[in-house]
Copies of this chain bind each other. A is one copy, B any other.
Amino acid sequence: MLQQPANKTELKKLGEFGLIHTLTDNIKLVNTSSKLGVGDDAAVINQGDKDLLVSTDMLLEGVHFDLTYVPLKHLGYKAAIVNFSDIYAMNGHPKQLTIGLACSNRFPVEALEQLYEGIQMACSAYGVDLVGGDTTSSRAGLILSLTIIGEVEKDKAVKRNGAKVGDLLVVSGDLGGAYVGLQLLEREKSVFMDHPDAQPDLEGNDYILERQLKPEARKDIVEYLAEIGIQPSSMIDISDGLSSEILHICNQSNTGCRLYEEKIPIDSTTYNMAREFGLDPTVCALSGGEDYELLFTIAQSDFDKIKNSPLLTVIGHITDISEGVQMVDKSGGIHPIVAQGWSSFEEE
């Protein structure tokens, strides 16, 4: 009955970020309270003496999670954490959460109670109020949509576009663990599919499993930076992988970057399990994603304030755009950094 558009450009040609750009490129903000729109971890809205931060995440069964090995309580916890992480990535603190939930009748009420238990555990741990949402039926499994509202001191939100030549590139925690944890769960799932009586072999790998199943958001880092008096020049959280996030900062800041492979923090459990799977641990860190660590840039003059912190690692520095976005490998070879993070439109 309906006319189809005359031109048809496939989504996978554009990818997620290209699509967002195409759909939102012509937006002009009209309300004076709208300080920052599409294109960062969160939007910024001015209200009185505070700035508010708003960010939305959607999670779909079969795309973002597999209920074969993700308990619903963990799913709820992680969904909330991922959403909170976007607010920390703006240097703010999450305060109010709304949840859109669509599910089919195959989920009993008790299953949804477990999901909400996980969400509320995360809310309690991070001081967030669940204030509203929408609940509806789905013909296609479980779908979650979370919107988080956070607060930041007026004009203190840290965007992606403020990195300056000479700034240090800093990351919290360690990288690659969530991705390697996922590989382990996928392996045990296929063992289980072939041999339903087999017990999963997960021993000794608590750390990477927790990185995948029960990640935390870096509230402590935002508090620590405030405490030591550092206002990062740019910041983002690592959801799609280090490469992808470095490119976001450099593209939006109009800079290049030099990243040193040997500096990338990788936990020994991650390292060993990556090797067991025949994976390059550096690639897991660069492209794995879901680590929810904070990646940010600071002035060189702030180096002394962080140099002894066990929470933070300097992994490179910002260069002129003409020098490109590059990684120096352990042998001194130089490679351009390309986005290899998860792109949701490519695999179907």
- Are B52 and A139 interface neighbours, CB within 8 A? no
Contact with B along A18-43 (1 / 0, CB 8 A): 01101110110111011011101011
Among residues of B, the one whose C-beta sits closest to the C-beta of A69 is B1
Contact with B along A181-194 (1 / 0, CB 8 A): 00000000100100
- Would you give the shortest CB distance from A160 to chain B, in whole angstroms? 13
**Cβ-based interface call for A129 (8 A):** yes
Give Cα A142 to B309, complex, Å.
46
- Are B58 and A143 interface neighbours, CB within 8 A? yes
Number of copies of this kind of chain in the complex: 2
Residue tally, chain A, CB below 8 Å to B: 99
Give Cα A202 to B40, complex, Å.
45
Among residues of B, the one whose C-beta sits closest to the C-beta of A20 is B135
- Are A54 and B131 interface neighbours, CB within 8 A? yes
Contact with B along A132-149 (1 / 0, CB 8 A): 111111111101010101
- Are A49 and B52 interface neighbours, CB within 8 A? no
Contact partners of A99 in chain B: CB under 8 A = 56
**Cβ-based interface call for A114 (8 A):** yes
**Cβ-based interface call for A130 (8 A):** yes
On whether A54 and B192 interact (CB within 8 A), knowing A136-B344, A345-B105, A348-B139, the answer reads no
- Are A96 and B31 interface neighbours, CB within 8 A? yes
**Cβ-based interface call for A55 (8 A):** yes
- Are B110 and A147 interface neighbours, CB within 8 A? no
On whether A131 and B10 interact (CB within 8 A), knowing A2-B69, A23-B112, A31-B95, the answer reads no
Contact partners of A206 in chain B: CB under 8 A = none
**Cβ-based interface call for A68 (8 A):** yes
Please, could you name 25 A-B residue pairs with CB atoms under 8 Å apart, sorted by A? A5-B110, A8-B109, A12-B105, A20-B133, A23-B112, A30-B129, A31-B95, A43-B131, A54-B98, A54-B131, A54-B147, A55-B132, A56-B100, A56-B132, A56-B145, A58-B101, A58-B143, A60-B143, A63-B102, A63-B137, A63-B138, A136-B344, A137-B345, A143-B143, A149-B149
Give Cα A52 to B82, complex, Å.
24
Contact partners of A344 in chain B: CB under 8 A = 136-137
Contact partners of A5 in chain B: CB under 8 A = 108, 110-111, 113-114
On whether A129 and B54 interact (CB within 8 A), knowing A48-B48, A135-B16, A141-B140, the answer reads no
Contact partners of A6 in chain B: CB under 8 A = 110
**Cβ-based interface call for A67 (8 A):** yes
On whether A9 and B108 interact (CB within 8 A), knowing A56-B134, A136-B63, A147-B56, the answer reads yes
**Cβ-based interface call for A50 (8 A):** yes
**Cβ-based interface call for A62 (8 A):** yes
- Are B133 and A56 interface neighbours, CB within 8 A? yes
On whether A33 and B143 interact (CB within 8 A), knowing A133-B38, A136-B58, A137-B344, the answer reads no
- Are A100 and B136 interface neighbours, CB within 8 A? no
Contact partners of A26 in chain B: CB under 8 A = 120
- Would you give the shortest CB distance from A127 to chain B, in whole angstroms? 6
Give Cα A14 to B24, complex, Å.
40
- Are A43 and B96 interface neighbours, CB within 8 A? yes
**Cβ-based interface call for A7 (8 A):** yes
**Cβ-based interface call for A337 (8 A):** no
